[in-house]
Amino acid sequence: MKINIIPAGIYDANCYILIDEDTNEAAVIDPGGDAQILINNIKASQAKVKMILLTHGHADHTGAVSELRNEFGCSVYINEKDAELIDKNIPIYGNQDENGDKFISEGDLLKFGNCEIKCVETPGHTPGGMCFFIDNLVFTGDTLFNRSIGRTDFQGGDYNTIINSIKNKLMILPDATVVYPGHGPESSIGFEKKNNPFL
Tens digits of pLDDT across the chain (199 residues): 999 999 999 999 999 999 999 999 999 999 999 999 999 999 999 999 999 999 999 999 999 999 999 999 999 999 999 999 999 999 999 999 999 999 999 999 999 999 999 999 999 999 999 999 999 999 999 999 999 999 999 999 999 999 999 999 999 999 999 999 999 999 999 999 999 999 9
Q: How high is the pLDDT of residue 118?
A: 98
Q: How high is the pLDDT of residue 187?
A: 98
All domains in the chain, ordered by first residue: 2-195 (3.60.15.10)
Neighbours of 7 (CB within 10 A): 15
Instruction: Determine the Cα–Cα distance for residues 134 and 67; give it in Å rounded to an integer.
Output: 26
pTM of the model: 0.97
Instruction: Determine the Cα–Cα distance for residues 111 and 106; give it in Å rounded to an integer.
Output: 15
CA distances from 165 to 20, 46, 62, 172, 182 (A): 29, 36, 22, 11, 16
User: What is the per-residue DSSP string for 66-83?
Assistant: HHHHHHH--EEEE-HHHH
Q: How high is the pLDDT of residue 171?
A: 98
Instruction: Determine the Cα–Cα distance for residues 139 and 186; give it in Å rounded to an integer.
Output: 10
Q: How high is the pLDDT of residue 104?
A: 98
Q: How high is the pLDDT of residue 157?
A: 97
Q: How high is the pLDDT of residue 165?
A: 98
Q: How high is the pLDDT of residue 73?
A: 97
Q: How high is the pLDDT of residue 101?
A: 96
Q: How high is the pLDDT of residue 189?
A: 98
Q: How high is the pLDDT of residue 86?
A: 98
Instruction: Determine the Cα–Cα distance for residues 62 and 135; give it in Å rounded to an integer.
Output: 25
Helices 65-72 and 35-44 meet at what angle, rounded to 10?
Answer: 40
Q: How high is the pLDDT of residue 64?
A: 98
Q: How high is the pLDDT of residue 15?
A: 98
What beta strand segments (E) does 9-141 contain? 13-19, 25-29, 48-53, 75-78, 102-103, 109-112, 115-121, 130-134, 137-141
